[in-house]
Amino acid sequence: MAGAVESSDRPPAPVQRKVHFSPRERQIVRFIVDGCPNQEIANRMGLRLQTVKNHLSRIYRKLGVPNRVQLAVFAVGYGLSEPAH
């Protein structure tokens, strides 16, 4: 059918290669999906606020996403959103 749009269960991936996350980066991604602000993430992980921001910047670059909303969408779509501890 010409002009038909295919739907998918997953959002389009901003990255085309396998991305490795450290355990700490995975935990931060889970907190983002849970809706935690940076300061809460820092408090819960025993980190400085700037350290959390540095991790987030690195995660955004790895995935090619511009912000935490797109990070959360990506994480949910690709199964990176298990509950944070």
Lowest mean pLDDT among 15-19, 65-69, 78-82: 15-19
51 in a structural domain: yes
10 in a structural domain: no
Q: What is the pTM of this model?
A: 0.75
CATH of the domain at 27: 1.10.10.10
8 in a structural domain: no
> What is the reported pLDDT for 55?
98
70 in a structural domain: yes
7, pLDDT greater than 50: no
Is 70 exposed, middle or buried (CB count within 10 Å of its CB: 0-12, 13-18, 19+)? middle
4, pLDDT greater than 80: no
Q: What is the per-residue pLDDT across 49-79, written as a single tens digit (0 to 9) for each?
A: 999 999 999 999 999 999 999 999 999 998 8
49 in a structural domain: yes
Residue with tokens 């269960």: 9
- With CA atoms as reference, report the closest residue to 45 among 56, 31, 35, 33: 31
69 in a structural domain: yes
Tell me how many domains the chain contains: 1
| Residue span of the structural domain in which 47 resides | 23-77
What is d(CA 68, CA 8) in angstroms, rounded to the nearest whole number? Answer: 22
What is d(CA 50, CA 67) in angstroms, rounded to the nearest whole number? Answer: 16
